[in-house]
Amino acid sequence: MLEHVELFFKSIFIDNMVFAVFLGMCSYLAVSKKVATAVGLGAAVIFVLAVTVPMNWLLDKYLLQDGALVWLGPEYADYNLSFLSFILFIATIATMVQLVEIVVEKFSPSLYNSLGIFLPLIAVNCAILGGSLFMQAREIETLGLAFNYGVSSGIGWFLAILAIAAIREKIRYSNVPAPLRGLGITFIITGLMGIGFQSFGGMLTGGGGGETEEANEQVIQIQQLEVVEPKEEVVEKNTEVDEKEISYNDVKK
């Protein structure tokens, strides 16, 4: 349970798709002029990530990894289809995006018209593909964690576009310098928000917390050795000097 909570908060605040790795910036900048439009696209991104990341995890686990085909028989244990990852991942994403497009057009034509070309372009949104590739690179162990990662990554992207849309609506009434109006001030605000989100990095130590403590203990031990060894050498030298003085005094007497 703890790893689920940790992964959830890390994916939203620390490894945010927009502010940490700057993925999905095209849709982020183009559809963030109004809050209502940003909410619709953000919800669609959450749904697509929540479905495609677990599906691609299953593909990677039982089809693409080295030796993943062993369930077909021992003669398939040496097969490695990882070179098909991009093709199959994109095919899965395109299928889900097409499903989202059909549902949105059916139940919310106004949202469908406001999103325009950017709704089908979710299929080539690098944040969607990045979620599946990060899942594969981080070797997420279970299907539940893969689903958690998909949902939390989508929520992180949703919060990012929602925040910038709210700011851009308010900033219309501000006296922005003429050269910075439009995308200029949006890039600056995005950079500042990225810095703010990076400050959440201290919330969770993650799986490396124990390793960090061990490393600190090793450093302390090394420092103690560095301090103790010279003291021992000084004591030995002082003993030698005392013995020489004693022997010199005996000879002198």
pLDDT value of residue 174: 82
pLDDT value of residue 149: 95
For residue 103, give Cα distances in angstroms to 7, 83, 122, 136. Answer: 30, 32, 14, 29
Question: Minimal CA–CA distance to 30: which of 125, 94, 103?
Answer: 125
What is the Cα–Cα distance from 76 to 62, expressed in whole angstroms? 12
pTM, to two decimals: 0.74
**Structure tokens given for 34:** 């109004």
Tens-digit pLDDT string for the chain (253 aa): 888 998 998 899 888 999 988 898 888 988 888 898 899 889 889 989 999 999 999 999 998 888 888 888 888 888 888 888 999 999 999 998 888 888 888 888 888 887 777 778 787 788 999 999 999 988 898 999 999 999 999 999 999 999 999 999 988 888 888 888 888 899 999 999 988 888 887 766 544 444 445 555 654 565 565 554 455 554 455 555 455 454 545 544 4
